[in-house]
Structure 1
Amino acid sequence: MWQPDGWDVRVRLGVLAPHADVGPESELQAMAPEGVRVHAARVPFGAMTTGGLMDPTIPHAPLQAFVEPPYIDEAVSLLAAAPIGAIGIGFTSSAYVVGAEGEHKVVDRLMERSGGIPVVATCTSAVAGLRKLNANRIAHFDPPWFDAELNRLGAEYFRSQGFDVVAHMSCGLPSSQRSINPSELFAWITSHTPADAEAVFIGGNGFRTVGIIAALEQDLHRPVLTANQCLLWGLLQAANSAAKPANYGQLFTAT
């Protein structure tokens, strides 16, 4: 009997990830239903060093540089040479810095390099997902390595798209990717989500979040969206795939 070898898939998805960050592809593949495979292309990110290490607070300049030519454009061209159904930008904070209009311009530019393969942005997908769920009042939380100004820019991003951001802050947890504990993050989110929030959005594609989505929704009784969850949802739609992950939130079950 032949063993699975990874070749028989329904759809292959690409993700553009910071060069030292394994978070986006790890969470995307963890959520991906059977027959969906995720392939990453690396883009230099000046705030990360070998081993995925970064400062407790990331500077803003590398966030904008991540989506500027030439590196991310070249990564798209290389990834688009593979049999990929859609390509996602696995990076939340650049959208905060350049704003919604700037994010759309980045996507348009990268589409010129993708050979017609759809390019999907994380925050654009989050906006579409919140609208799909009819959620207007949102609580917006970010990783602890996002400073107050970056978190504010994120809140302004969503306000510019018509949402009422009833609370926004960076999570008060150890500022290291490897130090994020799902139990501690769950407790922090549940204790800081205001009663009037219709949904929760958790930013940061390098933030360990998707494992607690179902538990948070059960406890909070409202939709919970995260960066990589929204990106996968957007990628599957862009690739015209009917595949749906199980146990990763109301976003995938909304009709």
Structure 2
Amino acid sequence: MDVSFLGGPQPQLGVGVVAPFDFALDRELWRWVPDDVSLHLTRTPFVPVEVSLDLARLVSEHETLHAAVEALCAVSPQVIAYACTSGSFVGGAAGERAMCAAMSQAGDVPSLTTSGAIIEALREIGARRIAVVTPYTKSVTDSLEDYLGEAGITVTGRAYLGLTRHIWKVPYRDVVDMARAAVVGGPEALFISCTNLPTYDVIPQLEAELRMPVLSANQVTMWAALRAIGVPAVGAYQALLDPVARRGPAAMTGTTGMTGTQPPPAGGPGATPEAAFAGPPAPPEADAVDGTEPPPYLPDDPGPQPPV
């Protein structure tokens, strides 16, 4: 059979992605990508360190990034994204800018990071007060809040799991429960951090329930990378990507009854309300929380609990 009339495959645009060695959500990244774009992923070298500030520093060293970018440039991507939130905010705003510069210099290709993308996305939707959800320990979550503060972003409430491994195994229901616990203090948006935390299918659900835009680490990474090459990301009913969604439920104010009537946060004036999802008793931060599912959360302020 003569198939010469097919003319070969259609031209593809390329997006290079540098991910940490334990990244497990390749398929989720692809869900935001249109058919005429290919993702080219590479991973940082393995190091025997659990998820922590130390690991974030190790996987974002400039020498590591240089080697990864050189490997990706063999397939000529139009842009390169560093897909790790903690690895790109651990050095603060100056560290994030230095990472982008190091990657661009290594490959002579425009480069961006997840943490830079979240600031860009929050500016896109006009949000300066946000709730934050993370799978991290308290110290890593604190570092994220510091990074956001440098950009003038106020964290009104937060929830975290305290995990140091197996983050990709967290089920959607736990992400939803954390989101409900974090949305206090009148935020304008919700950010779900960590590129290894599954989020694609919960974003529309949370936007409809919480009446605000919901951004996630993988979502903003793909949005920023694709926008850099003039291609819109795919994501129906996600306010960042879909103008119809942005004018719909996500544009409405109010967060399922969570308003300024909340009791003052523990820890004194100015403290950020938070819900730590830790089992009884919480293990030391250096200890691993193992197993296929994270333990149930215990909000700092035990009020009415969301339905399971």
In the alignment, structure 1 residue 232 sits paired with structure 2 residue 233: no
Matched with 2:95 is 102
Amino acid in the other structure paired with 2:115: C
C-alpha change, 1:7 and 1:190, in structure 2 (3 Å) is farther
Question: What displacement does 1:173 show?
Answer: 7.9
Kindly report which structure 2 residues correspond to 1:190-201, keeping only aligned pairs within 5 A, or say none: 190-194=180-184, 196-201=186-191
Question: What displacement does 1:172 show?
Answer: 6.8
In the alignment, structure 1 residue 214 sits paired with structure 2 residue 204: yes
Matched with 2:233 is 244
Structure 1 gaps, min length 5: 49-54
Kindly report which structure 2 residues correspond to 1:27-66, keeping only aligned pairs within 5 A, or say none: 27-47=28-48, 55=50, 58-66=51-59
Question: What displacement does 1:248 show?
Answer: 5.7
Task: For residues 99-145 of structure 1, give each alpha carbon's deviation from its aligned partner in whole angstroms, at most 9, with x where no partner exists.
Answer: 01111011101111112x211111111101101101111001111xx
Question: What displacement does 1:46 show?
Answer: 2.1
C-alpha change, 1:248 and 1:14, in structure 2 (3 Å) is farther
Number of residue pairs matched by the alignment? 240
Matched with 1:52 is none
Query: Matched residues, percent identical?
Result: 25
More relative contact order, 1 or 2 (CA 8 Å, 6+ apart): 1
Task: For residues 70-108 of structure 1, give each alpha carbon's deviation from its aligned partner in whole angstroms, at most 9, with x where no partner exists.
Answer: 222111011012131211001110223200111101110
Q: Following the alignment from structure 2 to structure 1, what is the Cα–Cα distance between the partners of residues 158 and 233? A: 29
Matched with 2:192 is 202
Question: What displacement does 1:186 show?
Answer: 1.6
Matched with 1:51 is none
Kindly report which structure 2 residues correspond to 1:123-134, keeping only aligned pairs within 5 A, or say none: 123-134=115-126
Pairing partner for 1:185 from 157, 175, 187: 175
Are the aligned partners of 1:47 and 1:59 in contact in 2 as well (CA < 8 Å)? no
Structure 2 gaps, min length 5: 247-308
Of 147-156 and 185-194, the range deviating more from structure 2: 185-194
Question: What displacement does 1:40 show?
Answer: 0.2
State which structure, 1 or 2, has the greater radius of gyration over its C-alpha atoms: 2
| TM-score for both structures, normalised by structure 2 | 0.71
Matched with 1:138 is 130
Amino acid in the other structure paired with 1:13: V
Matched with 2:20 is 18
Question: What displacement does 1:182 show?
Answer: 1.1
C-alpha change, 1:45 and 1:154, in structure 2 (3 Å) is farther
Structure (1/2) with the larger helix percentage: 1
Of 181-190 and 196-205, the range deviating more from structure 2: 181-190
Q: Following the alignment from structure 2 to structure 1, what is the Cα–Cα distance between the partners of residues 161 and 208? A: 20
C-alpha change, 1:75 and 1:7, in structure 2 (3 Å) is farther
| Partner SS, residue 67 of structure 1 | coil
